[in-house]
Structure formats: C-alpha cells, structure tokens
C-alpha cells in the first residue's frame, strides 16, 4: 500500500509527446490569464527571483520557453513544478503579468492526472497522502501525514528526524497518528468533492475539445 | 470587538503556541476571537496541487459557514490559510463563471456563499483596525534591548498585497518596534523559507533555510519573529542541518510575533506557549518575564 503511493496512476497512455503537449497547452491556456504565456519575453526575472531555481531541472523561464516550443512532456518529467514553493515572487515581478505560480500548480495537476511526474521528487506522493487524510478527516493530521510519507520510502529522513519529532509529540505539537478527530460536516465535504470532481472532468474535457 | 476566527490545522498542533499566544494577546486588546464552528482544512498549497475545483470547494465551505454565522469578515493567523481562503473569496468577487462552478459544489451540500466576506490576517487587524497606539498602551514590559529579525515570508502579502508591500513588507517591523524592541536590518524578510518543499525535499532546500538564519545572525538578531507556522517549522526544526551545512553555529530562537507581544504585555510565559519550540527561547524570555 505505501509503495503504491509513490507511483502515479497513468490514465492516458501511449500519447505522442506532440499530442500531450497540445492537451497540456489547452489547459494552461484555459487558466485565468493563461493566454499570457505567449507574451513571455524570456527576461529571466522569474528564474532570478525564484528561491528554489537552483534545485530545479529547468528554471521557470525555461519552462515558458519549453511550453511554447511544444516540449511540455519534458517539462512535466522534470522536478520543476514540484520544487515550486508557491512563494509568488515570480508572479508579482513578471513584467508581462504572467501568473507563473498558478501555472506551476496547473503543471503539478496535469502531471498527476496524466502520470507524468518526475521520478526524483516525492512531493507528488506527499500531496496524494495529504488529500487522502483531509478527505477522510476533514482536517490534516500531521503525524499520519509524515508517518505515511516516511513509510513510502523516506526511511533516512524518518530516522534523522525521529528525535525532534518525538520532542514535538511529547510537547503536544503532534496529534496521535490515528486520531478520531473529524469534522462533523464530512458528509457536506463529500458532496462538494463529488460534485466538483465531476465538474472538473467536464471542464477539462471541454478545454481539450477546443 | 468580536471577530470570527479560522484557526487552521497547523495551529491545532504543530503551531499551537501561535494559537495560544494570539488568543491571549487579542483578549488583552479586547478583540474576542470566536472560532468558526466545524471549520475544515482549507487545503493549503497541497490540495491545490491535485484538484483545483475541489480545493476551492473545500475552502469555500468555510466561507459559507462563516456567512451562516452572520460574519462579514474572518481572521486567520496562518498565511497559507489566509491566502487560500482569500483566493477562493477573490474568485467569488471577480470571476463569476468560476464562482458559479464552486457554488454548484456548495449547493450539492445544501450550502451557499455570496462572496460577502472579507478575509483578513491578524497582523492586518492588529495594525489597521486595533491600531498600534492601542498596542503600545498595553505594553507593561517593553522589550528594550531585544534585537529582532522580523521575518515576513511569502504569503502574508503575496500575491495580493492588500495591506503591505509584496516586495518589502514592514508590518511586522512596526509591531515589533511598538513593543520597544529593536528591529535589525533584514533584507531577506520576504524571501521564501522553502514552504512545504522543505518538508518533502529537505536535503535540497537546506540552502534556502541557511541563508535566512545566517543573515539574521550576521545582523546581530537575538531571535527571528515570524507570522507563519511553516516558516516557524522550517527555521526552527532544521537548524542542526543548517549548522552542518554552513559549518558553524547559526543557532537562533524562532518566535511568533504574538509571543513577543504577549511578553511585552506581561502575560505569563506559560500562556504564550514558550518552551514548546525546539531551539529554546528560554534565555530571551527570562530577560523579560
Ligand atoms: S518573468 Fe515573465 S516575461 Fe520574464 S521570463 Fe519569466 S515568465 Fe517570461
Ligand atoms: S512561486 Fe514557485 S516558481 Fe515562482 S518564484 Fe516561487 S518557488 Fe519559484
């Protein structure tokens, strides 16, 4: 079970890179202000401002070059979007008002949906565990999140962080890993989720058809 | 003044000292924080990375509940919650097409939201509604001689700005000064701490954390004051790794700005959650409490 959390469910297989690029571009364009990526002047302000660019396979500026060159499959296989911390400094600085952070989010979502995530990042696994927990409890449980994340192949981190984790636990800063606390409105949340998942599928199908 | 309060998951456990100190300080300032009943996780930066609409739907449930309480504003202390709720709210106010989709989700659950809420962060409320003169009036033990690096992080003012500069916010500096403490130069104040990525890929983001700690030390700070559970976690938890990476001693206590306020107000340190941090703030606290 935990291992499988590392793998991505591949929904679409055997699409050519060109076909994938078209699909992805259609979704990026459909974002609010998504068309603005065509206006990128390759100035590099985003890359120079990005706190984690040094650890990215491609910097944010290169992502926009690749997007327009139809090389999106490569972009998705890179760790770039998953190294994005969502700090929004690129977004507020971009001279062309491209909503770079929102596009990073879209790339993460598309990567998960189409089974294109970088093998060098575990952040996608973390995201999936987080969603499983918040769907089930209505709120996050940090202990369960970290335990499942570590079990899914991060033993080194687990051992390294164990002492500090224990300190936090005994100071009341971590919940019991299996906690009974639940939001009373879980049923409301389930209905919201089911409806919006369906609408999300419809919205994406429409964007691809365009 | 009574204010509806969205605590968020982090402050329930990992950042509980933020919650306790915020409540204690607000009480002192006659701001009654009323917790939103049955709030759910806003989704933070993570849910958004997998499902866009559902993420906004979850976030919007809180907005709908807040309206049901008759509120026209809601305050939160966690910048990630703040920006998530703010963003959903913003769509309701500026993007009717998108809002309509989210509303269909709410309506399926017998809820609805009209976009009538104002989402606020506590620093904004304290400075722009309560006012720093009120804060100064409550100071009984000025933090004279304390040198603070006031660290704003990312999401307090980005991307929406709102109450301070996106590039170089000063609101925490102003609060800190009103307590009698000295604010040291800290040009990296709005540089990111690595956020959730520091959690998942800590080996890759230690340089980011290191830069922040080193600069505070270089500028002579006794502590770094933060307004974000994730900033606190990253700066406090990873100090051993940073010391190893930089090959020196960059140990420095990380405190919530609300803890400093409480200290200056003369609130007992136990009521401010001191002692729960990993890098002890004892030395600093005992100077004033
Ligand atoms: S800052 Fe904007 S215009 Fe400049 S390279 Fe980045 S995306 Fe392109
Ligand atoms: S939002 Fe992401 S891509 Fe943009 S500067 Fe921050 S980490 Fe880099």
Q: The tokens of B52 are what?
A: 């866009």
- The residues lining ligand 1, judged by C-beta closer than 6 Å to any ligand atom, are A 40-46, 60-61, 64, 94-96, 98, 100
The pLDDT, as a whole number, for residue B96 is 93
Query: Which helix (H) or strand (E) is B4 found in, with range?
Result: strand B2-6
The answer to whether the CB atoms of A92 and B158 lie below 8 A apart is yes
pLDDT, tens digit, for every residue of B235-251?
Answer: 999 999 999 999 999 99
What ipTM was reported for this prediction? 0.91
Read off the pLDDT band of B113 (50, 70, 90): very high
The pLDDT, as a whole number, for residue A18 is 77
CA of B59 vs chain A CAs: smallest distance (Å): 10
Ligand nearest to the CA of A65: 1
The answer for B273, left when phi > 0, alpha when psi is -120 to 50, beta otherwise, is: left
Whether pLDDT at A21 is above 90: no
**DSSP label at B44?**
H
Whether pLDDT at B146 is above 70: yes
The pLDDT, as a whole number, for residue A110 is 87
Q: Which residue has a Cα nearest atom 3 of ligand 1?
A: A40
CA A44 to ligand 1: nearest atom? 5
pLDDT, tens digit, for every residue of A115-172?
Answer: 777 777 778 888 888 899 999 999 998 888 888 888 777 777 788 888 888 888 888 8
Mean pLDDT, residues A12-36 taken together: 80
Mean pLDDT, residues B2-25 taken together: 95
Pocket probe for ligand 1: among A33, A47, A84, A94, the residue whose CB has the most ligand atoms within 8 Å is: A94
DSSP string, chain A: -TGGGGSPP--S-S--HHHHHHHHHHHHHHSTTGGGGGG-----HHHHH-TTGGG-SS-HHHHHHHHHTT-HHHHHHSSHHHH-----HHHHH-TT---HHHHHHHHHHHHHHHT---TT--HHHHHHHHHHHHHHHSS--HHHHHHHHHHTT-HHHHHHHHHHHHHHHHTT-S--SS-----TTHHHHHHHHHHHHHHHHHHHHHHHH-
Whether pLDDT at A9 is above 60: no
Q: What is the 3-state secondary structure (H, E, C) of A7-44?
A: CCCCCCCCCCHHHHHHHHHHHHHHCCCHHHHHHCCCCC
Residue A114 CA to ligand 2 centre (angstroms): 23
Nearest Cβ partner of B40 from A32, A52, A138?
A138
The pLDDT, as a whole number, for residue A6 is 38
**Averaged pLDDT score across all residues of chain A:** 84
**Under a CB-based contact definition with an 8 Å cutoff, are residues A91 and A102 in contact?**
yes
């Amino acid at each position: 079970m935990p291992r499988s959390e590392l793998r991505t469910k591949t929904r679409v297989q055997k699409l050519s890179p060109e076909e994938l690029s078209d699909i992805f571009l259609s979704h990026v364009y459909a974002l609010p202000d998504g068309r603005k990526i065509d206006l990128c002047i390759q100035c590099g302000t985003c890359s120079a401002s990005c706190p984690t660019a040094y650890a990215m396979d491609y910097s944010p500026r290169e992502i926009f070059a690749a997007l327009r060159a139809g090389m999106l499959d490569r972009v998705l296989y890179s760790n770039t979007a998953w190294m994005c911390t969502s700090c929004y400094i690129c977004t507020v600085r971009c001279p062309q008002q491209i909503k770079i952070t929102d596009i990073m989010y879209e790339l993460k979502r598309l990567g998960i949906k189409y089974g294109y995530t970088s093998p060098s990042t575990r952040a996608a696994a973390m995201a999936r565990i987080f969603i499983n927990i918040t769907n089930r409890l209505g709120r996050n449980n940090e202990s369960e999140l970290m335990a499942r994340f570590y079990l899914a192949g991060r033993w080194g981190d687990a051992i390294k962080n164990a002492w500090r984790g224990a300190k936090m636990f005994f100071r009341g800063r971590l919940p019991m890993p299996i906690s009974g606390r639940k939001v009373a409105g879980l049923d409301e949340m389930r209905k919201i989720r089911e409806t919006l998942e369906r609408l999300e599928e419809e919205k994406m199908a429409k964007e691809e058809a365009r | 003044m009574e204010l509806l309060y969205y605590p968020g998951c982090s402050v329930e456990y990992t950042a509980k000292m933020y919650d306790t100190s915020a409540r204690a300080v607000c009480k002192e300032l006659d701001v009654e924080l009323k917790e939103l009943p049955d709030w759910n996780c806003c989704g933070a930066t993570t849910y958004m990375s997998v499902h866009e609409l559902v993420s906004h739907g979850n976030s919007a449930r809180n907005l709908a509940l807040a309206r049901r309480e008759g509120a026209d504003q809601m305050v939160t202390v966690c910048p990630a919650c703040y920006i998530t709720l703010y963003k959903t709210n913003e769509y309701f106010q500026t993007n009717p097409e998108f809002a309509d989709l989210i509303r269909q989700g709410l309506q399926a659950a017998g809820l609805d939201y009209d976009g009538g809420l104002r989402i606020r962060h506590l620093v904004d409320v304290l400075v722009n509604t309560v006012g720093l003169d009120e804060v100064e009036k409550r100071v009984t033990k000025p933090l004279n001689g304390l040198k603070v690096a006031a660290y704003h992080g990312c999401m307090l003012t980005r991307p929406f700005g709102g109450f301070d500069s996106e590039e170089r916010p000063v609101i925490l500096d102003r609060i800190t000064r009103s307590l009698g403490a000295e604010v040291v130069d800290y040009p990296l104040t709005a540089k990111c701490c690595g956020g959730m990525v520091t959690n998942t890929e800590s080996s890759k983001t230690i340089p980011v954390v290191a830069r922040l700690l080193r600069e505070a030390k270089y500028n002579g700070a006794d502590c770094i004051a933060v307004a974000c559970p994730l900033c606190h976690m990253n700066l406090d938890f990873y100090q051993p790794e940073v010391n190893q990476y930089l090959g020196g001693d960059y140990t420095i206590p990380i405190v919530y700005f609300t803890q400093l306020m409480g200290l200056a107000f003369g609130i007992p340190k136990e009521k401010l959650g001191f002692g729960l941090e990993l890098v002890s703030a004892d030395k600093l606290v005992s100077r004033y409490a």
